[in-house]
Homo-oligomer: A and B are copies of this chain.
Amino acid sequence: MNKTLIALAILSSVAHADEGMWMPQQLPQVAKQLKAAGLKLDPATLTKLTEFPMGAIVSLGGCSASFVSPQGLVATNHHCVYDSVAHNSTPERDLLANGFLAKSLGEELPASPGSRVYVTKEVTNVSSKIIDATVAKLSGKQRSDAIEKKQKDMMAACELDAGHRCTVSSYYGGLEYYLIKQLEIRDVRLVHAPPAGVGKFGGDTDNWMWPRHTGDYGFYRAYVSKDGKAADYSKDNVPYLPKHVLKLAKEGVKEGDFIMALGYPGRTNRHRLPSEVSFTFGWNYPAYVKISGENLGIIARETRDNKDTALKYAAQVAGTNNYYKNRQGMLDSYAGSDMLARKTAQHEQLKAWVNANPARKQEYAKDIEQIEQLIAKRDADVKRDFFLNYAQPRLLGTARNLYRLANENTKPDAERKANYQVRDLPRIKARVDALVRNYDEQVDKALVLHALSKYASQPKAERHAAFDAVVGIQDGMDEAALKAALAKLYAGSKLGDKAERDAWLGRTPAEFKASGDSFIQAAVAMYEPGLKEEAEEEELGGNIQQAYANYMKAKIAYMHSKGQAVYPDANSTLRVTFGQIAGRDHGVDGTAWTAFTTVNGVLAKATGQGEFNAPAAQLAAIRAKDFGKYVDTKLKTVPVDYLATLDITGGNSGSAALNAKGEFIGLAFDGTLDSIISDWDYNKANTRDIQVDLRYILWNMKHVDHADNLLKEMGAE
């Protein structure tokens, strides 16, 4: 790591001032830009993961969050606590609609099963340990296996420290690896969420949109055993006492202010090859958008008259809608851009640079050529299996996971496949448990039938023989025949019953083989072919890792030769992005987006129903100008959301936004629709992310929801 840092330290120029999801360790490289942007802290402070303010930043696994009280209170987005609110909701006590506020610790509710708060303890560069001299010589599945084994060993050693979860994450396409050790807090409780009319105000209509008026905030609390260790839920557990807590900003923010967000961006694709861009935008995203739209329609139709079922699918609908709009937005941006031509030209320049020097050509040329062929193979596999993934009943997937687990359980833990080790059991169990809350046979059957029709129309050679056999698919079957086959399959299984599922969690392979349950039988039938496919994937994966890492090495060397620092694509690890609070043009000549929205816009949008159902108490407070100290002196009312130039993506949801002094000023929760193409191709002019203003959060808590206990705890009063 030190070598890399030193190499990078001499690089002063960054492609764009606001671009970059920087690893905290990289920040000294951009110290000049940070200072120029207005940061008042020493950039070096931000490299210390266990000190202030980075020590207050946590991951929820898929969302970002932060400690905002010494009693383990965690602030994040409403959509990040959404599952937990839904989990605790019933038609009789609809917490989604009405919101929830625990007035005391005793009133806090268990978050949805599997909820976690991850507190990062250590991050170590283990690149040379993962790709050591031996591994460096391997290819294909041997290489995959060797890397996986090293990762598992490293993680296992790390997790000997009970209550921790360790991960080895890959950076720059497998060029670098870091071991990340996190305290895994398993007792997570829901503390407060505003009504959906605040937390999800604007719904899918406003999602990815500006002007925005969503109060996308919610609170968890992390609990540990009395001796401070991570532990399963217990009423004897006590709040976790974080070492570092974000301080609320004393002053409100304004346009032009410095801002940074600390969080866990999930995935970007800025270093992708032209062929990957072409496949994604030419085939993969369009296919996803099409079937997602269809599936949303099916769920709407099937749950129309059943509030209970609708609640079960609420989270899936929210997630699908989100990705649907995201992918469509990227497709729209792509259609109007020269991205592919530009990426192709850049790639040609890289190749020319490589070929211009014999040593570089010797080191990189072969892999740069090789990677294209490997990716073409992977793309063909993705196309082939696209509908198969949607055509498998959810309980078949569950049965396959359970049978795989039973088989892995026969091996010593260290030899088990990744994700099926002892450390993974709670998450597997949580996923099985979740079926009670998010599965309905009628809805599932309708979704599967829809995808199955598409799958069954593929040529036999592109279908999955074992799956065909299990369902009874033959060339030329019509939808009625497929429906009948599915009906038989579902009718032959008892896995719809929770007790039955739980029982299979502990059974042996022999018991699976002896079962007459249709889904269990199907899982057994698909097991061996599945292992064979997995081996093929690993063969391909090993070769891709090898060639891709070397391609990235060439690319980084090329960028350095031009004096440019390179941050890795997002990979769900902790990153820092900084920029400014700023409005922007939005394509309608003579108009612009202002940096802030206000509660006036809530009044204007409120319809009293559906996605714009702002609570009556909130509307009354706005009309009465009951703003207290949360009024913005310039706007003369309470700000709601604001735009900034931060470079974030999915996974950053719930990221704490901090001002130049490192004080808490809001929560990042979204980007504008034409920003998200930046996942592939950073667009400086358009990229704006959206924060909910801390003042709106506090105002709503104080003047509408009367969450005085929490305000006091956070030091807001």
Mark A residues whose CB is within 8 Å of B.
210-213, 583, 585-586, 588-594, 596-598, 600-601, 604, 641
Contacts and interface: CB of A to CB of B under 8 A. Distances in A.
Given A213-B590, A590-B596, A590-B598, 8 more contacts: A583-B592, A585-B594, A590-B593, A590-B597, A590-B641, A591-B591, A592-B592, A592-B593
Nearest to A641: B590
B583 A589 contact: no
Contact of A589 (B211, B590, B591, B592): B211
Please give me the 9 A-B residue pairs with the lowest Cβ-Cβ distance, nearest first.
Answer: A211-B590, A589-B601, A590-B597, A592-B594, A589-B600, A589-B597, A592-B592, A589-B598, A211-B589
A252 B564 CA distance: 36
Contacts of A212: 590
A612 to B, nearest CB: 13
7 contacts: A210-B590, A211-B588, A211-B589, A588-B604, A590-B601, A591-B593, A592-B594
A213 B588 CA distance: 12
Determine which residue in A210, A590, A600, A604 has the highest number of CB atoms from chain B within 10 A of its CB, and name it.
A590
A121 to B, nearest CB: 41
Give the most central of A213, A588, A641: most B CB within 10 Å. A588
A289 B379 CA distance: 65
Nearest to A604: B589
A90 to B, nearest CB: 35
B592 A591 contact: yes
Contacts of A593: 590-592
A256 to B, nearest CB: 15
Contacts of A598: 589-590
Contacts of A600: 589
Nearest to A586: B591
Contacts of A590: 210-213, 593-594, 596-598, 601, 641
A664 to B, nearest CB: 23
A211 B601 contact: no
Contacts of A596: 590
A594 B586 CA distance: 11
Contacts of A601: 588-590
Nearest to A210: B590
Nearest to A585: B594
A696 to B, nearest CB: 13
Nearest to A601: B589
Contacts of A585: 594
Nearest to A593: B591
Contacts of A211: 588-591
A213 B586 CA distance: 17
B591 A594 contact: yes
A591 B641 CA distance: 12
A585 to B, nearest CB: 8
Contacts of A591: 211, 586, 591-594
A80 B554 CA distance: 66
A211 B587 CA distance: 12
A594 B593 CA distance: 9
A22 to B, nearest CB: 29
A211, A585, A591, A596: residue with the most chain B Cβ atoms closer than 10 Å: A591
Contacts of A213: 589-590
